[in-house]
Amino acid sequence: MALRATIYKAELHIADNDRSYYASHAVTVARHPSETEERLMVRLLAFALHVNGEGVDQLTFTRGLSEADEPELWRQDLTGAIEQWIDLGLPDERRLLKASGRASEVIVIAYGRSVDIWWQGLRNKMTRVKNIRVYYLPAESTQALAQLCERGMSLSINVQDGQAWISSTKGDVNIEVLRLEP
């Protein structure tokens, strides 16, 4: 018998001073049986860092780990063309090159203990691709972020100068969002 996804509901109160975006979003996300709480929370943070409102071209969660040809989040236009492709973790070169051909903009939010090794192998190859941006979240910060995870949660996310402060009833976490340059 296959394991089922676990449903999480989150109320995100976003104050992003870097983008002048201030809004609240009620989101429901499914946590794949093989997904960690750390990855789930990084997905929510990625949403908060890139959402820009409601409407037809809004940022949406995809089937993620359940579908190999989809990112964690994407923004599509009315025709179904992918405007923004947001991947998490340490995707391989082929996946990123394929995504760069399918989407106007590709964003990778890398996290985990092996980011340095992954980036060393990928860095020079990314210089020829102009529509990919890579960000790094320190492992200690994302592990602390996982501690805020609850099935029903309310998160206040304040962003300023490349820093994200996330707070909930379980505590507070400060995450520096670092851009990796090829």
pLDDT number for residue 66: 62
Percentage of the chain beyond pLDDT 90 is 81
pTM: 0.93
pLDDT number for residue 56: 53
- In the chain, where the domains are located: 6-180
Cβ distance 45 to 157 under 8 Å? yes
Residue among 169, 157, 173 nearest 22 (CA): 157
Burial of 92 (0-12, 13-18, 19+ CB in 10 A): exposed
pLDDT number for residue 36: 94
pLDDT number for residue 182: 80
pLDDT number for residue 166: 98
pLDDT one-digit tens code per residue, 24-77: 999 999 998 889 999 999 999 999 999 987 655 689 999 766 667 899 999 998
Report the mean per-residue pLDDT for the chain: 92
- Superfamily of domain 6-180 in CATH is Restriction endonuclease-like alpha-beta roll domain (3.10.640.10)
Burial of 3 (0-12, 13-18, 19+ CB in 10 A): exposed
pLDDT number for residue 1: 54
The model's confidence at residue 2, banded by pLDDT at 50, 70 and 90, is: low
The DSSP annotation for 46-65 comes to HHHHH---SSTT-EEE--GG
pLDDT one-digit tens code per residue, 66-114: 667 899 999 998 898 999 999 999 999 999 999 999 999 999 999 999 9
Q: Write out the two tokens for 22.
A: 């201030």
> In a 3-state reduction of DSSP, which class is residue 100?
helix
Look at 158 and 124; give whichever has higher pLDDT.
Answer: 158
Q: Count of alpha carbons within 13 Å of 99, Cβ hemisphere only?
A: 29
Give Cβ neighbours of residue 64 (< 8 Å, ≥ 6 apart). 32, 35, 43, 70, 71, 72
